[in-house]
Structure 1
Amino acid sequence: MGHHTTETLIPLNIAVLTVSDTRTEDTDTSGGLLVDRVKEFGHQLSGKAIVIDDIYQIRAQLSQWIADDKTHAVVITGGTGFTARDSTPEAVSPLLDKTIEGFGELFRQISLQQIGTSTIQSRAIAGMANGTVIFCLPGSTNACRTGWDDIIASQLDSRQGPCNFVPQLKGIDFEACKSRG
């Protein structure tokens, strides 16, 4: 009871945003990995962009996807560190209707095994805005692999139980997640 899964994957429309002052489509290994993972998993890539680490450019691109009735999820890579230019959490947080505190906590817990206590410098966050789930990951390719493979993929998988984010997304005909009672 309270398990909300489907027998087959409900393909989602997922956008990937790279936040970087230096990366191009040719050098964007983190964004490229996420694009590959989205497609390999059976989802549709609804958009891909690279913006400089600027609060307003991040918000402008993200707001377009949040407002788009067809975009279910956005995965952002980059801008989550502590340098003066890192501003992804500050750009994204005001746009969220709800935060998903457990995402950052779990990401740092998993990362501890890989990078030790340097994981405390990660400001990975997630949340929901207008029925769109948004995940913000560090800019390293390994961090994106960890975030997608160990957390995001299962939470965007309608076959995953007892609950996943799919029933909460706009335009999905799927019974809303109930109490696990």
Structure 2
Amino acid sequence: MSRIDPEKPFMPVRFAVLTVSDTRALADDKSGDVLAGRIDAAGHLLAARDIVRDERDQIAAKLRDWCADDGIDAILTTGGTGLTGRDVTVEAHRDVYEKEIEAFGTVFTIVSMQKIGTSAIQSRACAGVAQGTYLFALPGSPGACKDAWDEILSKQFDYRHRPCNFVEIFPRLDEHLRRK
């Protein structure tokens, strides 16, 4: 079972939060607020926050820009993971990924099933890695953002979490770029 190792130091992670929406602004971005609040409360840093329209090329461009930014370790997007014609966040993420973290969608579905039952089937939450940066595409509801953070991300982005976590492998995410 997972646990916190009190012998390890806490290491803050620098997050960027991107809301994907044709209608939201920062003033009424409840899901972005949830993520920003939880990042701060956990002791991490909010390095960037923005909103882009549901346009695949705009989403991918922002993800690539943030992946190239040495001041950002992980990107959380919210919105655009559903099944409608305007929902293109997952496709934009996959345009950017070097590797997909396939189990994230499965674990998120398990967590969601406990909260919303079979409606969890409508989410296409996903995650991956690009340029040494973690990327997570979360649904646009505040509840889904809470569930993803509270049940998965808060643990995986805590260096003290055992048996393993995302933070401890940061230095190795882009090792393929350093191989000769």
TM superposition score normalised by structure 2: 0.90
- Distance in 2, matches of 1:88 and 1:170, equals 27
Q: CA deviation at 1:165?
A: 0.7
Higher share in helix: 2
Q: What residue number does 1:118 align with?
A: 119
- Distance in 2, matches of 1:154 and 1:66, equals 22
User: 3-state SS of the aligned residue for 1:65?
Assistant: helix
- Distance in 2, matches of 1:58 and 1:34, equals 18
Between the two proteins, what is the percent identity of the paired residues? 48
Kindly report the root-mean-square deviation, in angstroms, between the aligned alpha carbons of the 2 structures.
1.9
Stretches of structure 1 lacking an aligned partner (at least 5 in a row): 173-181
- Distance in 2, matches of 1:29 and 1:169, equals 29
TM superposition score normalised by structure 1: 0.89
CA contact (8 A) 2:31 2:145 kept: yes
Runs of 4 or more, structure 1, over 3 Å off, are none
Q: Comparing both chains, which one has the higher relative contact order based on Cα–Cα distances under 8 Å and sequence gaps of 6 or more?
A: 1
- Distance in 2, matches of 1:69 and 1:158, equals 19
- Distance in 2, matches of 1:93 and 1:127, equals 8
Residue 86, structure 1, aligned to residue 79, structure 2: no
Cα distance change, pair 109–45 in 1 and its aligned pair in 2 (3 A)? same
CA contact (8 A) 1:132 1:170 kept: no
- Distance in 2, matches of 1:121 and 1:23, equals 21
User: 3-state SS of the aligned residue for 1:134?
Assistant: strand
- Distance in 2, matches of 1:133 and 1:157, equals 14
Q: How many aligned residue pairs are there?
A: 170
Q: CA deviation at 1:97?
A: 1.2
How do 1:49-128 residues align onto structure 2 when only pairs under 5 Å count?
49-128=50-129
